[in-house]
Amino acid sequence: MLINSVVLVLREVLEAALLLSVMLALSLNLRCSMRWLALCLPLAVLGIGLFAVFLDSITDALEGTGQELLTAGLQLAAFAACLLVICLGERVRAGARQSPLLALGFSIAVICAMVREGAEIYLYVTAFAASPDQRTAVYVGAVIGAGIGVSLGVLAYGGLRAMSARAAYVLCLCLVAVIGAGLVVQSSQLLEQIDWIAPGEPLWNTSAWLSEESVPGQLLYAVVGYEASPAPLQAWLWLGSALAVPAAWWLGRAPWRQRRAPA
Amino acid sequence: MKLPFCLLPSLLLGVLAAAASAGPPVYELEIHNHLFLPDEIRIPAATKIKLVVYNRDPTPEEFESYELNREKVIMGGRKATLFIGPLQPGIYPFFGEFNPRTAQGRVVVE
């Protein structure tokens, strides 16, 4: 029970913690005021509470597809917010004024990621509140899992802050690309689950090499959306989403605007 | 020639009912005392199915399968619907993520 809860909570916390670390590092890198964080945390806690309390009704909504649609919506919104941040961030780096939209982008990305992961932890931990024999193991496991997850997030943040601003910026963009691609692939699987999109035949199967059930496989799934036997749609979505990050960066640079600037 | 118009609504109903019944076959599972009942469902290959999971426990459970790429939280005393397949023949395990030691099952595609 202890190990189960450590892995479950670690997996959920890690997804949100890593994205939070990258967003924080990016925000500091762009010299954006960190006030957005103070607004984010209470809103995320409120969102987690609402999601967990109303999950009954959410699940039954829209002919039983509510849970998948809301979760996929949160993940896609987080990714869209990341793209907005990268596009606006690059404009700031090019000398544009700080836009309030930038702080909004950071907030949406962090709130969506935290609500999605936090609600599952909340449900899991409260499910065992009534069973005294398992309660302690679950609580201790959850604290250890959350501790490791948060520590890894802090470590990632520390690492990003320790390197040169330029290197940290490039690494942040790469991390957003792989985390974002993972979010999009996870959303596509949820839409498959409610029969909104059709699954295809798997392109390959790497489960003998790295099983999705193994701890590294689970952590890799949590962070980059690792899928041992992806359908063509998932593979293309992963690639397309990862490439959307450099596209957003390029859009922020707006080379056509710079060309006109000297006039 | 008013008759065809009178028949139209019933004809439409008939078409709708046929469309509804032509949906994917439905399979049902129950979660009871953190166990899946039955713990094995057999489904035909290359066929999409609709799986309805009833959680008879008072506590929430998460239906999860790495092989099927499925995950869905089912609150205590509620049900959840999800689609599976079309799949190639094989064994696809699933488990309850909140009680993985006891809640184990598999979809056998044949």
Residue A118: closest CA among A70, A50, A37, A219: A50
Q: Is A64 on the interface with B (CB under 8 A)?
A: yes
Fold of B24-109: Immunoglobulin-like (2.60.40)
ipTM: 0.85
CB contact under 8 A, B82 and A194: yes
Q: What Å distances lie between residue A234 and A19, A78, A208, A237, CA to CA?
A: 21, 18, 20, 5
- Tell me the domain boundaries of chain B: 24-109
Q: Is B70 on the interface with A (CB under 8 A)?
A: yes
What does the alpha-carbon distance between residue A232 and residue A215 come to, in Å, rounded to a whole number? 25
pLDDT score for B21: 57
Q: Tell me the nearest-neighbour CA distance from B92 into chain A, angstroms.
A: 12
User: Which residues in chain A show pLDDT less than 50?
Assistant: 263
pLDDT score for B7: 54
Q: Is A192 on the interface with B (CB under 8 A)?
A: yes
Half-sphere exposure of A109 (CA within 13 A, CB side): 31
pLDDT score for A95: 82
Q: Tell me the nearest-neighbour CA distance from B3 into chain A, angstroms.
A: 36
- Tell me the domain boundaries of chain A: 2-260
DSSP class of B25: P
Q: Tell me the nearest-neighbour CA distance from B70 into chain A, angstroms.
A: 7
pLDDT score for B1: 45
Copy the structure tokens of residue B23. 């949906």
